Structure 1
Amino acid sequence: MSKLPLGSVFKIILKKKTSLRFLTGTIASFSFSIAVILSTIGLMDGYVVTLKEALAKSNGDIKFTSPESFFLDEGHLFKSSQDIEAYTTLLQLESFALINEQSKGVLLKGIDQEKFKRVTGINTEKLGETGVLLGSQLQKHFDLKVGEQITLAVASGKAKNQGSVLLRSFTIKGIVDHGIFEKDLRFIYANKSTVSNLLDYKDGTSNLGLIKLKPEVSIESALKQFAAKYGEDYGFEAFWSEFEVLLDAVEVEKVSISLILQLIVIVAILNVVAFIIFIYEIKAQDFFMLRALGLSIKSFQNFWFVLLFLIWSISCLISIGLVEIFTYAILKLPFLQIPGDIYELNELKTILDVFDYMYVFGVSLVWIFLIGFFTMRRFKKQSLISGLRQEFS
């Protein structure tokens, strides 16, 4: 039996505007469901990546502290380690910023400008001896400008003045954007020697250290080596340690939500099934006539699977564009802006890699062919003779 070209079957389906509109709606719903899943995964991946990038910007690769709280950095810590590209130590303390008769609890960080820049990448050249750098959210909160004065209140470090408050005015030299809401709202950077002199501490006194590793060194292996070699004197943590629980929770939720959102895909695929049944019912006479004229059941089945593949392919392409639209809307529309004090970040962004696309597209392809297969079984059960008798009686 000769095989009729599949193009004839496509012409039959798309001949009526009703069928074309149904097909368009089916593709639209399927592409939308795929885009929703991609956007969800992309937002969660983007959250993790953005949060880690922001944390690295203020913490380097590894943080270290001393069990005794304070330690003395004389410039030769970890000199024997071959894994460290640069390190810096800080003197940080709780303080209050006094601005326009208002106060705000802040974290004053005394830094070594050159070393801190090498470790974190934050530009501290404008700092100087009497200047400070403010977090971007703190600057917005009080509507401060570069060149204005800010007064900081810190507790005295001298035993004889225990409990007394020291006031010191600084000039705002610049604004730092960490990308993390809480850090941008609380962090103030000053020269380390200035902070030490203010508290009457010995030069080199520190209570926090940051390490930048060489690119080829993994953080996990470095943590193990440092703990074994320097563990008696210092405690070491990865730069994301303060948000480790949150990051782990996001990874778990990403899997859970992506599985739950498969229900949206199933609903969209049911629309595909409805389209197939709709076409089969209204074009049954034409299909059985084609079969009578030589269209084999195998060719008929191949046609439906080619149609399903085309629906899937077009939907995947459209979903990529929809993801870009969703991303733009989330970043630009005011009513979709995230509250940074809840989600930690100042803004979200969507990050998707090839694996994410392969995962979502692959699962949707399996779903559409699986349901399409069971739908086709129903059509194959009806013989040519019974179909012709039913449609032309």
Structure 2
Amino acid sequence: MKFNNLRLFSLLFLDNATSKKFLVGVWVGLAFSIAVILSTIGIMNGFERALRSGLKKSSGDLTMQSNAGFFLLSDKIKNELRLNGVKKYSGIIQIESFLIYNDESRGILVKGIDENYSSIVDLPLKLKVNTVAIGFEIARLHQIELGDEVVLAFGRGSSEFKNMPTLHRFKVEQIISHGVYQKDSRMVYANRSEIQAILGLVARVNMVAMNVPSPVRKVDDNLKIIEEFNDKLEFSFGNQFYFKPYWREFSSLIDAVRAEKVLISLILQLIVVISVFNVLAFIYFINEKKSKELFLFKALGLSRQAMNQLWIKLVFSLWVAAAFLAIGFVQFFRLLLRFADLFELPSEVYFMPRIDLYISWTDYLLVFALALLWILLITYYLLRNLKNKSLLEGLRQEFV
């Protein structure tokens, strides 16, 4: 019975093209405003996730370095890591160098890695003797292809020739993408044993990359675990070594993105409020255009409370329809961000050329709930004002 009343109520007030067009405009406007907020949150979340994922691909969960510089990965250090539950770790050499190709040079960061490093960072690194893997942006900017030979310039360690670089030629075996411009434009991987031999380091390293002993491997879920484990290792190893989570160098940027996400989301609520005022205008429009039918409902015994409930149900149905359409808009925005050239970002500024939307179910619930709250508040205020008009006054206005 209640459903029939709502259906009759809707059909009666939407019996002409003007009312239907007005309702469609209100529906699309409300859906678009919700989609704008969801897409903004999704872009911020997507940027943070992509940045974290790219950074993790370059170092694992944590890195350990010595205050003294290079050090031996001794049995004592290995035992201490094992006692703390660290199962995956890899000693690496990270050193600045220059890459020379076709008479052009570029400042890079060379990482000397072993066979364990690939499983820690989830990169398909398979290096042969006298080969390197270079970042995607290095290859793109210098037009380097697989099989080409590049020259790496290293500083000498001897006192006699310490101001002269030593040059070594390598074959490009792989081109690696981290998804972060700063990494893809600087990172070069080589065999650790070869770098140790070139620099005369014997078996010493200057960094250890490791993963936290946790079954949680999603980027979003293990941040707190990593921070707590970082503090635990610093306490265990004392002042000789220091540890860094993989996002430490970009922590200020990530904090800024989070703050901006909250601020922008609050500001964009104004768009929803404006769309809700369109709903208010629609109710006023129907109230004026269909005043005879409204008062006829009352004359036939429909109470004010029942009438208001029908309005609330109609507005709620509009909100549900707008929520589904907003999800469709969000998917359309996602496709544009992925494939449209217009939305390709300059990597040098935004760290990555493409950003995918990431919207959690809590984001959906929050945005939808706030939109519903605004709609109900403004509708309630409007209906209270409409109550003030009596049946006799309405009929007099209609027929006098």
Give the TM-score taking structure 1 as reference length. 0.96
Aligned partner of 1:211: which letter?
A: M
Change (3 A) 1:196 1:13: same
Give the match's secondary structure for 2:88. strand
Aligned partner of 2:125: which letter?
A: T
2:175 is matched with: 175
Give the match's secondary structure for 1:161. coil
Give the match's secondary structure for 2:389. coil
1:92 is matched with: 94
Give the match's secondary structure for 1:105. strand
Aligned partner of 1:344: which letter?
A: F
Give the match's secondary structure for 2:116. helix
Give the match's secondary structure for 1:107. strand
Partner Cα separation in structure 2 for residue 316 and residue 374 of structure 1: 22
Residue 323 (structure 1) aligned with residue 330 (structure 2): yes
Give the match's secondary structure for 2:43. helix
Partner Cα separation in structure 2 for residue 206 and residue 47 of structure 1: 33
Change (3 A) 1:176 1:163: same
Deviations 1:207-239 (A, max 9, x none): 122111222482122112111110222101111
Which 4+ residue blocks in structure 1 deviate beyond 4 angstroms? none
Q: Tell me if structure 2 keeps the 8 A contact 1:3–1:299.
A: no
1:40 is matched with: 40
2:275 is matched with: 268
Partner Cα separation in structure 2 for residue 102 and residue 135 of structure 1: 16
Structure 1 position 346, deviation (Å): 3.5
Structure 1 position 3, deviation (Å): 12
Partner Cα separation in structure 2 for residue 3 and residue 328 of structure 1: 38
For 1:357-376, list aligned pairs within 5 A.
357-376=364-383
Partner Cα separation in structure 2 for residue 229 and residue 10 of structure 1: 70
Q: Tell me if structure 2 keeps the 8 A contact 1:86–1:212.
A: yes
Q: Tell me if structure 1 keeps the 8 A contact 2:129–2:191.
A: yes
Partner Cα separation in structure 2 for residue 349 and residue 89 of structure 1: 33
Q: Which runs of 5+ in 2 are unaligned?
A: 217-224
Partner Cα separation in structure 2 for residue 54 and residue 65 of structure 1: 21
Q: Tell me if structure 2 keeps the 8 A contact 1:3–1:295.
A: no
Give the match's secondary structure for 2:47. helix
Aligned partner of 1:140: which letter?
A: R
Structure 1 position 367, deviation (Å): 0.3
Aligned partner of 1:386: which letter?
A: E
Deviations 1:14-37 (A, max 9, x none): 101100000000000000000000
Give the match's secondary structure for 1:85. coil
1:121 is matched with: 122
Deviations 1:55-93 (A, max 9, x none): 111111111111112111246624232421211121121
Comparing 13-22 with 212-221, greater Cα deviation is found at 212-221
For 1:202-281, list aligned pairs within 5 A.
202=202, 204-216=203-215, 218-281=225-288
Partner Cα separation in structure 1 for residue 354 and residue 285 of structure 2: 45
Partner Cα separation in structure 1 for residue 24 and residue 229 of structure 2: 55
Residue 66 (structure 1) aligned with residue 73 (structure 2): no
Structure 1 position 335, deviation (Å): 1.8
Q: Tell me if structure 2 keeps the 8 A contact 1:132–1:189.
A: yes
Change (3 A) 1:332 1:387: same
The size of the alignment, in residue pairs, is 389
Change (3 A) 1:77 1:115: farther
2:5 is matched with: 5
Please point out which of 281, 299, 302 is paired with 1:295: 302
1:308 is matched with: 315
Partner Cα separation in structure 2 for residue 212 and residue 293 of structure 1: 73
Q: Tell me if structure 2 keeps the 8 A contact 1:64–1:234.
A: yes
Change (3 A) 1:3 1:321: closer
2:14 is matched with: 14
Aligned partner of 1:207: which letter?
A: N
Q: Tell me if structure 1 keeps the 8 A contact 2:6–2:313.
A: no
Please point out which of 86, 108, 111 is paired with 2:110: 108
Q: Tell me if structure 2 keeps the 8 A contact 1:90–1:209.
A: yes
Structure 1 position 192, deviation (Å): 0.8
Q: Tell me if structure 2 keeps the 8 A contact 1:44–1:254.
A: yes
Give the match's secondary structure for 1:294. coil
- Percent sequence identity over matched residues? 34
Partner Cα separation in structure 2 for residue 308 and residue 238 of structure 1: 49
Change (3 A) 1:5 1:67: same
Deviations 1:274-316 (A, max 9, x none): 1111111100111111211222111110111001101100000
Structure 1 position 151, deviation (Å): 1.0
Change (3 A) 1:179 1:322: same
Structure 1 position 13, deviation (Å): 1.1
Structure 1 position 8, deviation (Å): 2.4
Partner Cα separation in structure 2 for residue 132 and residue 273 of structure 1: 65
Give the TM-score taking structure 2 as reference length. 0.94
Deviations 1:114-146 (A, max 9, x none): 111121121222x11200001011111112111
Give the match's secondary structure for 2:95. strand
Aligned partner of 1:263: which letter?
A: L
Partner Cα separation in structure 2 for residue 327 and residue 340 of structure 1: 19
Q: Tell me if structure 2 keeps the 8 A contact 1:91–1:206.
A: yes
Residue 24 (structure 1) aligned with residue 31 (structure 2): no
Residue 378 (structure 1) aligned with residue 385 (structure 2): yes
Q: Tell me if structure 2 keeps the 8 A contact 1:158–1:199.
A: no
Aligned partner of 1:163: which letter?
A: N
Give the match's secondary structure for 1:270. helix
Q: CA RMSD of the aligned region, Å? A: 1.6
Give the match's secondary structure for 2:9. helix
Deviations 1:349-391 (A, max 9, x none): 1111110000000000000000000011111010001110111
